[in-house]
Amino acid sequence: MVEFFSLTIKPPKKSPLVLRMVVLLFAMVCGVYICSICMRQINARSNGRVLSVKVVERLCEVPEIQPSEKPYLHFPQPKTFARAECGCNPVQYFVILSTQRSGSGWFETMLNSHINITSNGEIFSNKVRRSNASSIVETLDKIYNLDWLTSASKNECTAAVGLKWMLNQGLMQHHVEIVEYFKSKGVSAIFLFRRNLLRRMISILANSYDQNAKPLNGTHKSHVHSPQEVLSFSISIFL
């Protein structure tokens, strides 16, 4: 009996090292490709223009008034405080133009007695504030933007704000710039002058005498108090 022996030859197994190298190479190629795409996107963002998004606030509605009065209504946005629920309450700007001893102090006191009216007094009695047109405009901007805080300043619901300005406090020297400012801002000018010039001169002399002599217990009286004083100072004018 003849026996046959068969020799089976199996193919050699693939080396795991080669397979690992192929996988590693593939991973490296994919990583380089992903990194290149990311770098392109970063460069595109850095080189691109930055878009500035402006927040548009809702404008306050002007109440039903005559068209001619609309330029005189304003909606200030103070930097020192928030107007809160009164932010859309319109505010009117005014200025009292006068001369010394003309009753402007009394008139301003009457205005400030109202809860929603603010008159800030003689702001430009300070020489630095009226030294040039730029400082005057800067001061006016603070006053009309409700950022000028004085003892007369009212709450956030102020309906009118202004000041008292004497003619000899830089007003005449820079009248061109000031008039243009008043026109552009819609400022109402109140001209207050004393009709009786003789009484004004008497008041000036009496105030000067009281300020220098201080006859009443060493204090200064701001105006003439009695008819006798008026008579004495009126006589001194004509002597």
pLDDT in tens, 12-37: 555 567 777 777 787 787 777 787 77
Is residue 67 over pLDDT 60?
yes
Is residue 221 over pLDDT 80?
no
Q: What does the pLDDT look like over 177-186, one tens digit per residue?
A: 999 999 999 9
pLDDT bin (cut points 50, 70, 90) of residue 229 is very low
Tokens standing for 138? 């800067």
Tokens standing for 134? 């730029």
pTM above 0.85, yes or no: no
What is the C-alpha separation between 117 and 42, in angstroms, rounded?
57
Structure confidence at residue 225 (pLDDT): 47
pLDDT bin (cut points 50, 70, 90) of residue 219 is low
Higher pLDDT, 50 or 211: 211
Higher pLDDT, 131 or 56: 131
Residue 212: other Cβ atoms inside 10 A: 9
Structure confidence at residue 39 (pLDDT): 77
Structure confidence at residue 218 (pLDDT): 58
> Angle 133-144/175-185 helices, nearest 10 degrees?
30
Average pLDDT of span 51-75: 73
pLDDT bin (cut points 50, 70, 90) of residue 47 is low
Structure confidence at residue 125 (pLDDT): 93
Average pLDDT of span 39-58: 59
Average pLDDT of span 115-123: 94
